[in-house]
C-alpha cells in the first residue's frame, strides 16, 4: 500500500434534512488529503433528487440502490462497496462532520498491514439524553465520551475494539473477504468486525 492510498469516503443518508447532509459533505470534500486520492460518495437510500443535486454540486459521487428494503444501512454500504474501488473506506453517518484533517490523521495506521479498521471517537456538540433530561449539560460528560475514552480504549488493548457505525475506516480487502458488511442484524457495525 502506498503512503497515500485511495480512499472512498461514504456518507449514508435516508430522509435526513439537507442542511445536515450539506455540513457533513463539506467536511468530507475539504479533506487535507491529496486531491485525486479520495472520492466522496453519497449513498442515498431516500431516493431524493435534491440529495443527488446537492451531491453533484459539491463534487461528490451519488449512488442510489434500486431496492432499499434489503438490509438497511448494511445493504446500502454493500451496494456502494461493489461500485467503488478505493483501497480504504471511510464511513460517516449523515450527521457526523469530519474535521478536515480526518484522513491525514488516520490513514497512516494502515501502513501496518495487519490493521483492518480504525475507529475514531465521536464528539458531540449537542447534549445526550441524560444531560438534556436532567438539565445537567455542564455538570455531566456526554455518555459517548465514556464509551470512546474508556470502554473502546480498553477493548483496543485486547484487540477487541469494534466499529461504532460512523467515523471509522476499513481496509477494503479484508472487508470483501468476509462478504462485506454483515446483514443478519441491524447492528451491522458491531457484527462486521
Do the Cβ atoms of 103 and 30 come closer than 8 Å?
no
Residue 130 has a pLDDT of 52
Residue 67 has a pLDDT of 83
The β-bridge relationship of strands 168-171 and 88-93 is antiparallel
CATH 3.90.550.10 fits 7-120+164-192, yes or no: yes
Q: Is 189 a catalytic residue?
A: yes
Do the Cβ atoms of 100 and 31 come closer than 8 Å?
yes
Residue 83 has a pLDDT of 96
Domain ranges of the chain: 7-120+164-192, 123-158
Do the Cβ atoms of 79 and 47 come closer than 8 Å?
no
pTM of the model: 0.79
Q: What is the mean pLDDT of residues 152-161?
A: 54
Give the tens place of pLDDT for each residue, 7-49. Answer: 999 999 999 999 999 999 999 999 999 999 999 999 999 999 9
The one catalytic residue among 8, 44, 93, 189: 189
Per residue, the 3-state secondary structure of 131-180, as one string, reads HHHCCCCCCCCCHHHHHHHHHHHHHHHCCCCCCCCCCEEEEHHHHHHCCC
Q: Is 93 a catalytic residue?
A: no
3-state secondary structure (DSSP) of residue 28: helix
The one catalytic residue among 45, 49, 95, 128: 45
Predicted confidence band at 187 (pLDDT cuts at 50, 70, 90)? Answer: very low
Identify the CA nearest to 10 among candidates 108, 86, 104: 86
Residue 191 has a pLDDT of 47
* Sheet arrangement for strand 168-171: 61-63, 38-44, 7-13, 88-93, 168-171, 117-119
Predicted confidence band at 190 (pLDDT cuts at 50, 70, 90)? Answer: very low
Amino acid at each position: 500500500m502506498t503512503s497515500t492510498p485511495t480512499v472512498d469516503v461514504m456518507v449514508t443518508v435516508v430522509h435526513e434534512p439537507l442542511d445536515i447532509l450539506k455540513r457533513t459533505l463539506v467536511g468530507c470534500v475539504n479533506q487535507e488529503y491529496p486531491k485525486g486520492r479520495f472520492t466522496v460518495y453519497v449513498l442515498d437510500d431516500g431516493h431524493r433528487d435534491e440529495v443527488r443535486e446537492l451531491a453533484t454540486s459539491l463534487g461528490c459521487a451519488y449512488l442510489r440502490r434500486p431496492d432499499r428494503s434489503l438490509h438497511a444501512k448494511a445493504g446500502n454500504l454493500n451496494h456502494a462497496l461493489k461500485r467503488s474501488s478505493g483501497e480504504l473506506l471511510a464511513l460517516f453517518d449523515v450527521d457526523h462532520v469530519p474535521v478536515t484533517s480526518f484522513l491525514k490523521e488516520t490513514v497512516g495506521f494502515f501502513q501496518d498491514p495487519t490493521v483492518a479498521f480504525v475507529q475514531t471517537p465521536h464528539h458531540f456538540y449537542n447534549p445526550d439524553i441524560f444531560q438534556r433530561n436532567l438539565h445537567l449539560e455542564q455538570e455531566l460528560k456526554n455518555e459517548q465520551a465514556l464509551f470512546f475514552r474508556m470502554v473502546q480504549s480498553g477493548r483496543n488493548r485486547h484487540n477487541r475494539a469494534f466499529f461504532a457505525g460512523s467515523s471509522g475506516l476499513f481496509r477494503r480487502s479484508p472487508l470483501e473477504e468476509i462478504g462485506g458488511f454483515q446483514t443478519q442484524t441491524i447492528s451491522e457495525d458491531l457484527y462486521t468486525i
